[in-house]
A and B are shown apart, each in its own frame.
Chain A
């Protein structure tokens, strides 16, 4: 009975300092006012630490913290440059924020900078995740932990539904129905029929690119 409660408290304790620390650091960011950081690119250790920091602060997604650290706190990029870099990473496959760390680090310090940012982003949370995996393997069947995880799962699924609803709104407001049909098609084939992702995307991506290109040309004409 006692252990999972303690673990729950540790999770809370882990959550708090990083949260407040990241809030404070962004509040106090203007105070040091370093002169033109763009002239002197940060070192590899600084890149590693910066990405480790935003990764550990990023509960439920790192992007917000990455933008805050890169654009506002360290001023390594302007907001436009950040959007441009993120857009590139968003249209490529793979976890966007991981792609961003590699592209961003390499723009500042070459491939070594890319690797430093990539390692900073992934190493600390992977270690935490392995500790949690070991704990789950040992205690995952405890009744009280089962109940806690069941509750967290429900909340996590609710959050995902909210994200989907938010992203869907602009799509539904537009007049052309084709993107909505594509969205429904992917949902049905992958979610209900459980077809392999590769098979679905090998059809859906060319169709969607063709439709988008055609619609844009129609708007332009």
Chain B
């Protein structure tokens, strides 16, 4: 694929994907994995989980995993194209809808649609977790670390950044 056509393919892929990204970035991870790893072979499984880890560790919205995917496909222009394609169309849509519904509470449809999307986005996020876990290291130690973090984060209010850094330290020490 040459530079020009890969950038167009990034723009059309993420532009379309963003319109179906209900429940935010984590819910779109399965589709990103399907497109980037399974369909287009832009990245390996390992590169994809690495990209997810880097995006979680860095500041800013988690959706910026698309910046890393775009960079892997077409360098800096690809990174910018993927980021804008994923973020701008839906932001403009939100702008127009917010002007249409000045007071969202007046209509009951936003409430119904919002409630209807909740189970779907939880299902999608669970699918994200499954796909990422299948692409990551599958040693006993890695499984234990994932489980430990899941338990600690479920029962305490510790800042997630410390758990990510602890995971990095354990990896650095060669335990995972």
Interface residues of A, Cβ cutoff 8 Å to B: 5, 8, 11-12, 14-15, 18-19, 55-62, 84-85, 87-103, 106-107, 111, 114, 118, 121-122, 124-126, 128-130, 132-134, 136-137, 140, 144, 147-168, 171, 179-180, 182-187, 190-192, 194, 196-198, 201, 204-205, 208-209, 211-213, 216
Contacts and interface: CB of A to CB of B under 8 A. Distances in A.
In the A-B complex, the 7 residue pairs with the smallest Cβ-Cβ separation, listed nearest first, are A151-B171, A125-B60, A94-B90, A158-B149, A155-B167, A191-B127, A186-B123
The main secondary structure of chain B at its interface with chain A is helix
Contacts of A85: 98
A56 B59 contact: yes
B31 A196 contact: yes
B3 interface: no
B36 interface: no
Contacts, number: 364
Most buried by A among B28, B104, B146: B146
A198 B163 CA distance: 33
Contacts of B76: 130
Contacts of B126: 164, 168, 183, 187, 191
Contact of B172 (A89, A151, A201, A204): A151
Interface residues on B, range: 35 or more
A111 B118 contact: no
Contacts of B114: 87, 90-91
B146 A157 contact: yes
Given A88-B110, A133-B67, A144-B172, A165 B150 contact: yes
Contact of B60 (A126, A160, A163, A187): A126
A62 B63 CA distance: 11
What is the interface of chain A mostly: helix, strand, loop, or mixed?
A: helix
B87 A148 contact: no
A172 to B, nearest CB: 10
12 contacts: A59-B159, A92-B90, A133-B68, A154-B145, A159-B56, A159-B149, A162-B153, A179-B118, A182-B120, A187-B123, A201-B20, A204-B120
B62 interface: yes
B149 A164 contact: no
Interface in B140-176: 142, 145-154, 159-161, 163-172, 174-176
Contacts of A152: 53-54, 56-57, 164, 167-168, 171
B145 A167 contact: no
Contact of A125 (B58, B97, B115): B58
Contacts of A99: 90-91, 93-94
A149 B154 contact: no
Interface in B21-43: 21-22, 24-26, 28, 30-31, 34, 38
B171 A149 contact: yes
B58 to A, nearest CB: 6
